Amino acid sequence: MPRSWVDGLEARARASLPAPVHEYVAHGAGAGTSRDEAAAAWRDVRFLPHVLHDVTDVGLATEVLGTRLETPVGVAPTSLQRAVHPDGELAMARATAAAGGLMVVSSNAGSTFADIAATGVAWWLQVYLPSDRTLALPLLERAVAAGARAVVLTVDTPVVGSWEPAGDRVWDVVDPAFTRVNFDEGHDTQPGAEKALDLGPHDLDWLAERTGLPVVAKGVLRADDARRCVQAGAAAVWVSNHGGRQLDRAVAPARALPAIVRELADDDAEVYVDGGLGSGTDVLAALGLGADAAFLGRLPLWALVEGEHGVGRLQDRIRAELVEAMRLAGCRRVADARDVVGSPAPV
């Protein structure tokens, strides 16, 4: 499969999707600076490959929070998947399950947790917490009952970052049934349903107690915040700037990752990253900088235009590129990538 197929995914999606849907997926906050810098930051990473290493058999299997996966590349949570393709999360889940990967499901998903789980995919739930935390309990209970293996708390969104053109345009062409199907009817109109402005470390422990699941803090860019999350009970920290959709000019995840990995080097907490990853070589850079897993956000959505087949084709391509990059770097296993970065992206 030519790399040009991957490089052309967004253009094909733009030609196929209603303009407001494409804009919704593609947009970044403000001037789009953070969105645009993310991919370039991965390209700034340089490798120091090993030689004279037997790379006949290269394995991508890994384990995250106790779940064995066949690949360290997961699917990040994104909403409006059914606006991109009628099968939405189910197509994404089937392709991810076939790849042996992990899917993180948005709390705003347009498919039920039970239907997603029925595909056999390993999955986590992403959540925002409302001002009245008790309003989140029915959603959490449904996810636990359907077999979610972890809860991912988005910590970088006390308010939704503004962008132009106005985000409300998407609702002119999208069926409201394509989102938030796992919430109780009338949830959004209840007092206290708005996003919490007082989110704090105690919420990580609250989620763990209420669900009995490991909790991941997603949206961390600072080493001191990563430390606070782990001290508060987070099992993992997810380095992310929300795809550049929140605070514009927030640092690229590739540049924030090394300091967070160093800060947590003596802890049991895992570290993940997303933002601008577009190839298997980018994934090798993420692993080399210390990430335990890397997640793709927009790219699987562009591939979803072609349904399960498109997502599966993308995952096959990223896997093939990662295997080749690992061979050329002298790595046989995911853990071997930890010492092949010679020049990380400058902070």
The answer to whether the Cα torsion of 162, 164, 5, 13 is positive or negative is: positive
Report strand pairing: 62-64 vs 67-69: antiparallel
**Phi then psi for 62, rounded to 5 degrees?**
-155, 180
CB contact at 8 A, 244 and 33: yes
Active-site residue 187, yes or no? no
Unique residue bearing structure tokens 């962008």: 163
From CA 38, how far away is CA 42, in angstroms rounded?
7
In this structure, the dihedral spanned by the alpha carbons of residues 137, 139, 145 and 151, taken in order and rounded to 10 degrees, is -90
From CA 269, how far away is CA 215, in angstroms rounded?
10
Unique residue bearing structure tokens 């970088």: 156
- Helix ranges (H only) for the chain are 3-7, 9-16, 19-26, 33-43, 81-84, 88-99, 113-118, 137-145, 201-211, 223-231, 253-263, 280-288, 298-304, 307-329
The answer to whether the Cα torsion of 163, 188, 126, 300 is positive or negative is: negative
From CA 203, how far away is CA 234, in angstroms rounded?
10
Amino acid at 211: T
From CA 93, how far away is CA 283, in angstroms rounded?
21
**Phi then psi for 137, rounded to 5 degrees?**
-65, -45
Look up residue 195 and give its DSSP letter: B
**Catalytic residue from among 22, 27, 85, 242:** 242
Nearest residue to 231 via CA among 258, 197, 271, 268: 268
Supply 291's token pair: 């990430």
Amino acid at 96: T
Q: So which residues are the catalytic ones?
A: 242
